Amino acid sequence: MTTTLLRPGDLVRPDAVHRSVYTDPAIFDLEMERIFGRAWLYLAHDSELPQPGDYVVRHMGTQGVILTRGKDGEVHAIFNRCSHRGSTLCAFEKGSAPAGHQCPYHGWLFNADGTLKGIPHPGGYEGALDKADLAITRVRTESYRGFIFGNLSGDKAEPLEDFLGHMKTSIDDLVDRSPTGRLEVGKYQLRHYYRANWKMTFENLNDTIHPGFAHAASVVSARAVVAEVGAQNIVPTVGMMLANGKPIDFFQNLDMVTAPGGHSYIGGHMGADYTPDTSDAYTAALVDYHGAERAKKVLSVDRHLMLLYPSSFWHARYQTIRIIRPVRHDLTEMIGYTFRLVGAPEETHVNAIEYCTGANSAASPVIADDLEIYERCLEGNGYDAREWVPMARGLHEVREAGNEATRSPSTSEIYIRNQFAAWSKYMEQPA
């Protein structure tokens, strides 16, 4: 379905959004240019590139990029495209290329920073080729506490820390949970696709009304498991399923925090405690590193998912980051990463893997519900003449408003309205 409305700003109202933002391929194309082409997008962690020549391949919207640790120790990001005939340079998602990236088509060789290093049979190009003009376009990167972000708008982009704003505190929460101040990305990734628009995930993950309905069957199953094995023996996936069965009144009392740029998080509402030995050892390690008062403060932070609009989802308590990769207006990939708290007991990482399995595995009984709902929404928004999708829940329930962050009940759809405020701001800026 396409829309006859001409301006992106016409598609968003204070309490509703036009359904074409989910269904129109032309709007998707404009989003890739104006949102994913302008926002800071999380790409990788320092620990993924330990040695010079190490690289990973990631996506910024629909654009493929290569991040490589150069001989100078710096991380460089370039497009995954040979400047000769356009072939992708890297076929693998990670590896080591200390001599540079070589095109599989004609053997052109590029340095980590994209400069053209060498060309087979250079005499054939005499007088017809300028190496400087054929360097691969670089992508601007900045880091915050070891997390590397990229921006396709180059020098026009605001500083990364300005983009993060209040959400830096959630990243701090993740790093500060390490008893050495260091993190290492886990060995495995969990991925799935769904047949719907990328915004569906952003609108769902902090929605506290849907769990009791969309996940009702998994709640029943989780309660049966607890009845059989006992609450002390459950894994985080079962804990997640149980948390979805909490009453709406519980979530009404929980805080939702929104911040400029479309970002948000809600207070923590699920947990799987470590075994006593692990808990004691972990707490002691944090006290050794931070001191008793600071360690207590670190452990007291209790937040659920931080949505860093428009590309990633962060859960510090479970050391997990998920990246969203829009493929088409009706196809999206989700990629989940876990992190090891260097110096912490192994159970803390096992806990993260179990959570990520429940949160990002296509086999998860929780995720399966969400993916079906996303696809139903895409299909249903193609029916009848009703064009506007309401997002008015909690419109008058703000608890505390501020320039840096606003606090509301977690049952509010304020975070969706906040996302579309950012969406409109990005989309209304001409190329």
Tens digits of pLDDT across the chain (431 residues): 555 556 888 999 999 999 999 999 999 999 999 999 999 999 999 999 999 999 999 999 999 999 999 999 999 999 999 999 999 999 999 999 999 999 999 999 999 999 999 999 888 888 788 888 999 999 999 999 999 999 999 999 999 999 999 999 999 999 999 999 999 999 989 999 999 999 999 999 999 999 889 888 888 888 888 888 887 777 777 877 877 888 899 999 999 999 999 999 999 877 667 889 999 999 999 999 999 999 999 999 999 999 999 999 999 999 999 999 999 999 999 999 999 999 999 999 999 998 899 888 888 888 899 999 999 999 999 999 999 999 999 999 999 999 899 999 999 999 999 999 999 999 998 76
- Domain residues for 122? 41-156
Q: Do the domain assignments include residue 15?
A: no
Strand order from edge to edge, sheet including 75-79: 75-79, 63-69, 54-60, 94-96
Whether 108 and 257 map to the same domain: the answer is no
Domain count for the chain, please give it. 2
Q: Do the domain assignments include residue 293?
A: yes
Whether 313 and 172 map to the same domain: the answer is yes
Whether 169 and 146 map to the same domain: the answer is no
Q: For 259-287, give one letter per residue: b (16+ CB within 10 A) or e.
A: bbbbbbbbbbbbebebeeebeebbbebbb
Please state whether the predicted TM-score (pTM) of the whole model is above 0.85: yes
Q: What single-letter DSSP state applies at residue 326?
A: E
Whether 333 and 198 map to the same domain: the answer is yes
Q: Do the domain assignments include residue 20?
A: no
Whether 170 and 129 map to the same domain: the answer is no
Using CA of residue 184, residue 190, residue 191, residue 194, what is the dihedral sign? negative
CATH number at residue 86: 2.102.10.10
Q: What single-letter DSSP state applies at residue 103?
A: -
Q: At which of 156, 175, 195 does a domain end?
A: 156
Q: Do the domain assignments include residue 31?
A: no
Q: Do the domain assignments include residue 30?
A: no
